[in-house]
Amino acid sequence: MWSDPSQHPFEAGELFLGHKDGQEIGIKTERHAITIAGAGSGKGTSVIIPNLLRWTHNALVIDPKGENAEATAEAREAMGQTVHVLAPFGAKKVPERFHATYNPLDELDPDALTIKEDIDAISDGTVMRADPEAANWDDGAQTVISGLIAHVLMTAEPAKKNLIEVRNILRNDDRLAEAAEAMKDMEECAGVAQEAASTIMAKEGNYYISNARKNTKWLDSKAMVEALSTSSFSLADLKNENTTVFLVLPANYLGQHGRFLRLFVRAGIEAMAKETETGELRDKQCLFMLDEFFALGRIDEIATASGLMRGYGLQLWPILQDLGQLIDMYGREGSETFFANADLHQFFGNTDPLTLEQISTRLGVTNMSEVPLPPAAPAPVPTGIGEGLLSMSAQSQRKAYKGMGMALGGAMALAEKSHHANAQSRYQDEMNHYQRYMSEHGKPRMPPDQVSALIRKKSDVVADHMICFVYGREPLLLKPAPYFRAIETPPEAVSSQAPTAPAFYVKQEEITAVLIIVAFLSGGVWIGWAVYGGWMGLVGGGVLGVAVSLALDYFGILGSSDED
């Protein structure tokens, strides 16, 4: 059921998974990955940070606690990466030189052929799409915001060409009415402003405006004003330069300011999709490590174009707490698209029934190829030799021959019966074992409760194990490798084979064999002396006794010739 982890040693430039008996394990892929791990099971310490310490390409990282930037910013810098940490609410343990600001409107060129698409990418980043049934109202809100972005881009003074000014206009009825009037005749930016003016003045205009105000309210925060008014770098650097960007937003602000993260992910995808100055679609490779993926809401471009992103050099690695979060956002079909476009599906620390059932189903059911062949019935062996010797010895007129023959015959008869009983017992045990396997045919290889026991977090700070489904291979069972703990090779596992006996030690089977040969040798000597007398009788009888004992052992009458 499990793939051999030693076939997947980690190498630089690969995705790091974990370890097995001290060996680091990784996979080489340009497609996406997905991790579903329970709360507190070690997503940051065992997945995000270890990969950032090893990943040699560019990265955009959602970092809710700031711990990822704190642990890896300097290491990333040492790799030759320019590091930018956007932390509107601060990240005190991150060196000041890494702190950055970013104004998405600085990337816009009103004369670009893609100006409409560029503006729409920013406005879509501000509109949290959670309910597909509300798509009409969300689309209307996005149209209003796009028009105001175009209006600000064309009319505002340079210091105010930002989203903060868009919000200032939107929340003021008089300024909004004035802007809408001006936007009616604004043909620049591919007519985006004109479309917004029509939307504002439509019958449902007030609903669209209300939704646009709701989706931009987070921009009133003083922290966001400082973070988004100016730019200290360009998101285009993710494609063209050696760059790592951390988005730090405390978990207690995810509900209020999740659109901050969504905005950057949406704009980052747009930046990676653009051609380079030389017309190339692909330049630097960039990994988007998206912790708290659920907080981003539904991003249609991820759902519809994830299969194309590898062509841009973009890899997504969304991280969620349970499978239900993904289904809530993208539905079952959309969730299947995620899994279909990902070469790695990683699970650990899961406790919810839906995710555990999914893992159990993925591990499959026991099939006939896993059921051993039924045991063969015991092979027939010569019997009755001992009883025959007893009968013949009883009729002998010579006392010595009679006594020794009866002793040998009794021993042989006892050995025959013992061998037969042992063979039958082994056969029954093997048949019971076979029947147990047959009863498992068609059942899950690992039911959900066993999956939970295997990958849950117990006494350690991280989960005990992780299950990784890798495209085209059997699943991997690995140990998490938290960055703060050295990966150590455990003592050599005890061999499953029995240890070799010392020279002075003789096994019980060998003792029995020696005693049997000695008994037949002695019996043969006595019989030879009694029948023929003299030295010739002694030697001949001894040779005959040994020959008989070896023949009986060959036929399996004396002990078992089968392997247990």
- Here the tokens at position 272 are 């990676």
Structural domain contains residue 85: no
499: helix, strand or coil: coil
Residue 479 bridge partners (DSSP): 19
Distance CA 343, CA 470 (A): 6
Distance CA 102, CA 225 (A): 10
In 3D, which of 380, 383, 404 has the Cα closest to residue 393?
A: 404
β-pairing verdict for 23-27 and 15-20: antiparallel
3-state SS of 249-272?
A: CCHHHHHHHHHHHHHHHHHHHHHH
Structural domain contains residue 291: no
In 3D, which of 151, 182, 154, 181 has the Cα closest to residue 167?
A: 151
Structural domain contains residue 162: yes
Predicted pLDDT at 426: 79
Distance CA 264, CA 124 (A): 11
Predicted pLDDT at 430: 72
Distance CA 345, CA 264 (A): 25
Predicted pLDDT at 500: 45
- Here the tokens at position 54 are 């090893």
Asked whether 374 and 431 are in contact (CB, 8 A), the reply is yes
Predicted pLDDT at 251: 87
pTM value surpassing 0.75: yes
Distance CA 138, CA 144 (A): 10
CA 489 to chain centre: 21
Q: First vs last Cα of the chain: how many Å apart?
A: 25
CA 299 to chain centre: 24
- Angle at Cα 46 formed by Cα 45 and Cα 49, nearest 5°? 55
3-state SS of 303-371?
A: HHHHHHHHHHCEEEEEEECCHHHHHHHHHHHHHHHHHHCEEEEEEECCCCHHHHHHHHHHHCECCHHHC
Predicted pLDDT at 245: 98
Predicted pLDDT at 487: 81
CA atoms within 13 A on the CB side of 455: 28
CA atoms within 13 A on the CB side of 277: 4
**Structural domains in the chain (count):** 1
β-pairing verdict for 466-470 and 82-86: unpaired
- Angle at Cα 17 formed by Cα 15 and Cα 18, nearest 5°? 145
In 3D, which of 15, 17, 8, 48 has the Cα closest to residue 487?
A: 17
Q: Return the H-helix or E-strand segment holding 98.
A: none
Predicted pLDDT at 97: 96
CA 352 to chain centre: 17
114: helix, strand or coil: coil
Asked whether 142 and 123 are in contact (CB, 8 A), the reply is yes
Distance CA 57, CA 289 (A): 12
Burial class (CB in 10 A: 0-12, 13-18, 19+), 268: buried
Question: For residue 364, which amino acid is it?
Answer: G
The count of residues in the chain is 564
List phi, psi (to 5°) of 489. Answer: -80, 120
Per-residue pLDDT of the chain (564 residues; tens, 9 = 90+): 898 999 999 999 999 999 999 999 999 998 999 999 998 899 999 999 999 999 999 999 999 889 999 999 999 999 999 999 999 999 889 999 999 999 999 999 999 999 999 999 999 999 998 777 888 999 999 999 999 999 999 999 999 999 999 999 999 999 999 999 999 999 999 999 999 999 999 999 999 999 999 999 999 999 999 999 999 999 999 999 999 999 999 988 998 999 999 999 999 999 999 988 888 888 999 999 999 999 998 888 887 777 788 889 999 999 999 999 999 988 888 888 889 999 999 999 999 999 999 999 999 876 655 555 667 767 665 556 656 655 665 665 555 555 555 566 666 666 667 767 777 777 777 767 666 655 555 678 889 999 999 999 887 788 999 999 999 889 999 999 999 988 876 655 434 444 444 444 444 555 555 555 555 556 555 555 555 555 554 455 555 555 555 555 544 555 544 444
CA atoms within 13 A on the CB side of 126: 30
85: helix, strand or coil: strand
Asked whether 36 and 355 are in contact (CB, 8 A), the reply is yes
Question: For residue 244, which amino acid is it?
Answer: T
Query: In this structure, what DSSP letter does residue 443 have?
Result: S
Asked whether 324 and 294 are in contact (CB, 8 A), the reply is no
Structural domain contains residue 179: yes
Predicted pLDDT at 407: 60
Predicted pLDDT at 277: 84
Structural domain contains residue 67: no
Reading phi first (left if > 0) and then psi (alpha if -120 to 50, else beta), residue 456 is in beta
Distance CA 525, CA 241 (A): 95
Asked whether 12 and 56 are in contact (CB, 8 A), the reply is yes
Structural domain contains residue 196: yes
Distance CA 409, CA 67 (A): 83
Structural domain contains residue 91: no
Distance CA 550, CA 180 (A): 109
CA atoms within 13 A on the CB side of 25: 26
Q: 206: domain range?
A: 131-221
- Here the tokens at position 555 are 């036929």
Structural domain contains residue 156: yes
